[in-house]
Amino acid sequence: MPEPASDAPPSVLISEAAIGRRVEELARQISRDYAGAGELVLIGVLRGAFVFLADLSRRLTVPCRVDFVALSSYGHGSTSGGAVRLVMDLRLNIAGNHVLVVEDIVDSGHTLAYLVAILQARHPASLKTCVLTRKAGRLETDVALDYVGFDIPDRWVVGYGLDYSDRFRTLPYIGVL
């Protein structure tokens, strides 16, 4: 994927209204799936998932707690170095809890697969994933994606938590650079 032009304004790929509708649909589905299961632990992957996690969690009708992890795989450029590392760990003990990992984007799938392996070793009652965007054509690993917001083209996207060099995260829509 070529380096995006960071000074050009992003063109809208997914509108704010479309995101709102899809987040509401995902929240209804997740709430149905976890109804009666007890408290759900939502794990947001920082920094990109914070906007999505906030909107999703406010729409859930099941009791939940929120925690965060931070992973690194991209560094400062636009291409992954291949190695994934845990930068910030959970504060909560997830053993015996139902856990939903909330991620902004799945590209190759390596980062999410790494996180799922770490979390599985902590013996949650269940572990599922919810991703806002997926570049299906770029997946290189077999990682379960239980809830998917949008399939997107192989372009550099920003907004609604997604960034380019820590810019554009706060756009209310998802745009293409």
Would the pLDDT of 33 be above 80?
yes
pLDDT (0 to 100) of residue 74: 56
Q: First vs last Cα of the chain: how many Å apart? A: 12
Residues annotated as part of the active site: 107
Question: What pTM was computed for the model?
Answer: 0.90
| Alpha-carbon span 18 to 11, nearest angstrom | 15
Q: What is the pLDDT of residues 124-170, one digit of tens each?
A: 999 999 999 999 888 888 899 999 999 999 999 999 999 999 999 99
Dmax (CA) for the chain in angstroms is: 48
Q: What is the pLDDT of residues 34-89, one digit of tens each?
A: 999 999 999 999 999 999 999 999 999 999 999 999 998 754 445 554 688 889 99
Q: Are 175 and 8 in contact (CB under 8 A)?
A: no
CATH of domain 11-176: 3.40.50.2020
For residue 147, give the nearest of 50, 29, 60, 57 by alpha carbon.
29
For residue 47, give the nearest of 175, 160, 177 by alpha carbon.
160
